[in-house]
Amino acid sequence: MKTLDFSRSFLTFQIDLQKQKAITLSHQPPTTLNNGRVQLECRCEMTNQQSGEKTTYVLGASCKTEQVGADGDLWLTPNGDFCPIVCDDEFLIIKSWQKCDMGVMRNPPSLGAQPERQSGVVKEAWMWLRVHQHEIEGELLEDFDAIFDATISHKALVSRTEYSDGGYDICIEHPVKTMNVTDRERVYQTDTGPIILPNFAREVERTIEYFELAFAAFNAPDWTEFVVNIPTPLSDEISVNHYSQTRRIENTRNSLIALA
């Protein structure tokens, strides 16, 4: 069966400040042109149950805010973490600093403060953006023995969770970075993130805004538990973005695939 080799799958984009104003930056870059490549962490396919239209969303690996090409002081202060989520024509950038509502300004300041969830149209943020999905043959692991053997023999694993919600058929795929197996009790359990998880309780203008960052775990074929990154209070005045909200989805179809 076909599956995604995440180690060789990327999103790439181009910023050219001589041709297009930036809308996501908080500094004036030392260079005017940058081609960025970000490895993929997760793929989520959502199929509209009424129209049958399928849209593929991907999550890029976490990055830190930086000055590309500077002689020193490469890391911006305060430093932010950001993850890009994109489809063909929309983007959502999830940003986080040491606390919520830091008020870090964009460049130029007339654009206002950096939003922690910035969505928009791809062509307004980058000269171009492309997603490279490197698909290869994989082996469906159909029982515990196959899962155990693939884990112990150091095969790369991909997790696939399928379910229906919010009028969509959803398929979430991601590499299994952490895996637990015990041949005594014959138990396996995944533990991986971040992934992207749609939350249809959100009020949104764009479909891509449904997504939240989460970690996923399962040890059975028909349910998955997630822990979701949300603003989490530390005191009456301070909140931080942290994986603190758990969510269990029943009636999933979970599968594990070993890369060939």
pLDDT digits (tens, 9 = 90+) for 123-146: 999 999 999 999 999 999 999 999
pLDDT digits (tens, 9 = 90+) for 182-197: 999 999 999 999 999 9
Q: Which residues of the chain have pLDDT under 70?
A: none
| pLDDT recorded at residue 260 | 81
**DSSP per residue over the chain, as a string?**
-EEE-GGG-EEEEEEETTTS--SS-SS--S-SEEEEEEEEEEEEEEEETTT--EEEEEEEPPEE-B-TT-SS--B-SS--EEEEEE-SSEEEEEEE-SSS---PBPSSGGG-BPPSEEEEEHHHH-SEEEEE--EEEEEE--SHHHHHHHHHTT--EEEEEEEEETTEEEEEEEE--EEEEETTTTEEEEEEEEEEEE-TTS--SSGGGGEEEEEEE-SSSSEEEEEEEEEEESSSS-EEEEEEEEEEEES-EEEEEEE-
| pLDDT recorded at residue 114 | 95
pTM value is 0.96
